[in-house]
Amino acid sequence: MLSTVLLVDDDPTTNFINERLLRRLNVSHEVLVATNGRLGLDLLAKRCGEESVGCPALVLLDMKMPVMSGLEFLEVFMQLPLRQQHPIVIVLLTSTQLEQDLGQHRHLPVTDYLTKPLTPEKITHLLSQYFNNEHPLN
C-alpha cells in the first residue's frame, strides 16, 4: 500500500470518482486532491520538505486545467529542490490517445500516461508496473 497519492485535476466529478476508486482498491493510506497545478505544487512543497511526511509516491496529473496546467506543473516541478522531487511516480491523465504521442513531453519527468477514465484495471496495471512490492492486489 502506498502512503499517499496526489490527484491533480480541476474537475470535481473526476476527482470524486478517482478518489473513490483509489480508496476502494485500497491503493494508499491517504488521497490528496488539488484542483489545479499550483495547488498541487503547494501540497508537494508542504509534504515533501525536509521531513517528507506524507510525500506522495504517486501523482495523477490532468493535463488541461485552469490556473496552472499539467505541463506547467511539470516545468515548475523540475525546478524544485531534489528533496521535494522525492522518488515520485507522475502519471499524466489524458482525454485522448493523441496527447500521448506529442514529443514535447519527453523532457518532462513523466513516468507514464493513462487515458481517462481511470478503471480498476488501469490502476492495477500501474501499481504492478511501478510499485511492485507495495501493491495490495499482487
Residue 76 pLDDT > 70:
yes
| CATH code linked to domain 2-131 | 3.40.50.2300
pTM: 0.88
Per cent of the chain over pLDDT 70 is 84
pLDDT of residue 138: 36
- 54-63, 98-107, 110-119: range with lowest mean pLDDT: 98-107
Instruction: Cis check for the bond before 117: say yes or no (omega within 30 of 0).
Output: yes
pLDDT of residue 38: 97
Q: Collect all residues with Cβ–Cβ distance below 8 Å to 3 and sequence separation of at least 6.
A: 28, 29, 30, 54, 55, 56, 57
